Amino acid sequence: MRIGNFSIVPRLMLTRVVSVPEIWNHYAGGVLKAKLPYDTIDADRAKRFAGQSQMNFVALVMHGLSAISVNSDVLSVRLLLLMLCLTAVALGGSGWAIFAGLLIPRWLVLAIGLLVVLTAMTMFFMFLVLAARSTAQFIPQRDYHDFVQNVAVVAGGR
């Protein structure tokens, strides 16, 4: 999805937008996850007029991971299902090979062990995601005062 850094939020929607905890981590991901109505406007990207981008490789990777983390619940379930399927196929294939009297290569035993460990790690990740649901979340509408020094009202404000 191509979403830029700028948005226009109608005043009536602003209360809903600032109530979404995920926008603190990744604005576009939070708006999408909250299923808030949105529309996009196609715009051609112009060349940078001056200076270098402030986003180095590490910052870009962190930005991408922040977008993924907004949907960490979906990611953890999909990873768990993938790992369980791969482990089931590997164990089923090994069981078939043993039943058929075939020799099982040493690398297959190591691969199954690795799949079991990765499945356990995925389950641990899933439990971390579930545990995070019980912690207090940052809600911009409620907690902004800890991060905002002052608010200036521009013409036509409250």
Q: How many helices, marked H, and strands, marked E, lie in the chain?
A: 6, 0
Helix axes 72-99, 106-132, angle to 10 degrees: 150
Whole-prediction pTM:
0.65
Reply yes or no on whether the pLDDT at 107 is more than 60.
Answer: yes
**What are the pLDDT digits (tens) for 48-88?**
777 777 788 898 888 888 888 888 888 888 988 998 898 88
Reply yes or no on whether the pLDDT at 2 is more than 70.
Answer: no
- 4-125-140 Cα angle (round to 5): 40
The pair of structure tokens assigned to 58 is 């590490």
Question: What's the whole-number mean pLDDT along residues 21-34?
Answer: 84
Enumerate the domain spans of the chain: 1-70, 71-158
The pLDDT assigned to 1 comes to: 58
Q: Are 141 and 19 in contact (CB under 8 A)?
A: yes
pLDDT band at 4; cut points 50, 70, 90: low
**What are the pLDDT digits (tens) for 114-158?**
888 988 888 888 888 888 777 777 788 788 778 888 878 887 655
